[in-house]
Structure 1
């Protein structure tokens, strides 16, 4: 079991695209890189790099990685080895490194879908057609749509300083429809109020 949680040397966007394009799953960039791809430039340093894929495509993804990478399950603050063929039922985060001594290079975030809809795991009544959660750069690089990525950041139990900065950078660029979707989603998850609501006009 590894404990070196801060031992990261993330791959570049181009390196990740090369890996992911060789595996037949639906995927996109998430986290801070998703927002920077939306903005069209890198706004800050990124300590990691995140990829979203659907939970039901994990076998194809993990089997495709297993021959060249070491795969770890991240669950309740602990990392443990993923064994070939093991199905992840409750684990939603997977960390990847070259071997057991190498820095972590990228993270997989497993998200749910049902009947053609993406499901937000923290408030499962928040759903969206699965084909409407991914956008593309002009170069064809897929990324999680900004309002959805901001929901993941703002919906966390701990909103970090970089999450607030990302929100401030992206909010002025959102369309009215995207902004309203984010407001409604945050209101559903946090009916008692959320710190970002005042900035968005509520």
Structure 2
């Protein structure tokens, strides 16, 4: 992503680790961009990686005939060429006129800078309470330690935001009682 001049940020487990210091095994690294920046990203990757749009398991290459993505909440998959394995799975973030939009709570719209934080090394991460709201929908055992590690770093306001999001997305989630 070095040299890509549009906002991008790390999401998922690595964002939790960066915010909390809690270390665990990760299957992959997820990076996101706004859907409005996909054409710039495809151009940025031209000659380096093949960029494909994945919508519910249906893939097509971006560029040429397919210049745009099919669904703002889809993913980009990257590989070196048509015979190579996929190396990056990039969940896209919908936007409203360049503003970050929560893909599961579309009323939550904000500048990227207010839903991310930047570490000392310059890498931007999604706020951990937003990561947890996304993770809560899946109810995976591996997300429980992420919640436990994040709880102490959330102040009352951030806990309230997470509680609101969980109440809207998964109102019966057991994390709500802990917030």
* Structure 1 vs Structure 2 CA RMSD: 2.0
CA distance in 1, matches of 2:52, 2:24: 27
Matched, 1:108 2:90: yes
Tell me if structure 1 keeps the 8 A contact 2:36–2:98.
no
Match of 1:67? 47
Cα offset, 1:115, TM superposition:
4.9
Match of 2:69? 88
Q: Encode CA deviations 1:122-145: one digit per residue, 9 max, x unaligned.
A: 221233333201101122211111
Cα offset, 1:183, TM superposition:
0.6
Cα offset, 1:84, TM superposition:
1.3
CA distance in 2, matches of 1:179, 1:52: 23
Secondary structure of the residue aligned to 2:54 is strand
CA distance in 1, matches of 2:178, 2:168: 17
CA distance in 1, matches of 2:19, 2:2: 20
More divergent stretch after superposition (62-71 vs 24-33): 62-71
Structure 2's unaligned 5+ residue stretches are none
Matched, 1:142 2:121: no
Number of equivalenced pairs: 176
Matched, 1:197 2:179: no
State the TM-score, normalized to the length of structure 1.
0.78
Cα offset, 1:89, TM superposition:
3.4
- Aligned to 1:33, which of 14, 22, 27? 14
